[in-house]
Amino acid sequence: MAQEKAQKQNVGNAGEYYIASRLSAINFTATITLGRAEKYDILALSPSGRLVKISVKATQNEKATDFPLSAKDEKGEADDFYYAFVKLNGFEKDPDFWIIPSKIACPLIEKAQRKWEATPGKNGRPHSLDNTMRILPIELRGSNKVFYPPEWENEVKTYYKNLKQLL
């Protein structure tokens, strides 16, 4: 029986705790920032002493093919900063997740946004430049195929459940 839709904050918390638990299972020391760090949800120390920062984006929708972000996610890439995109799958089966380096995600989001801004919208009108919403697709389909490189669909598969890159 499907559970009632969780509140947005609870979905985010569930995603953060899920990623922290997966990291703990491979001997990371993971700390959830509880909103005290502007851009990071988890600070994690690898068994070898490498510190990584993770921003978690979660959805409970098992049919989701992309994740919403904001304009601030276009910037701030760093070698030690990653995004974890978590599909909680309606809490009916194990979550799916992708760990994507910010050095990949940030420029990809920015380039897609510039393409979207340069493409005419409904009735040929320009898109609003005030829009702060950004999208990162896990699956290319529909209109997002125009804004992301075709090789992204294969590349994103390399990040699926790939915690080893954090070591």
- pLDDT-derived band at 133 (thresholds 50, 70, 90) equals very high
pLDDT the model gives residue 151: 94
Burial class (CB in 10 A: 0-12, 13-18, 19+), 106: buried
The answer on pLDDT for 76 being more than 90 is: yes
Our CA angle for 66, 23, 16, nearest 5°, is 45
Give me the mean pLDDT over the 105-132 stretch: 89
Mean of the pLDDT values across residues 130-143?
Answer: 90
Mean predicted lDDT score pLDDT of the chain: 92
In tens, the pLDDT along 25-67 reads: 999 999 999 887 889 999 999 999 999 999 999 999 999 999 9
| Structural domains for the chain | 8-166 (3.40.1350.10)
Check residue 143 and give its pLDDT: 77
What pLDDT was estimated at residue 121?
Answer: 83
**Cα 91 to the chain's mean position, in Å?**
18
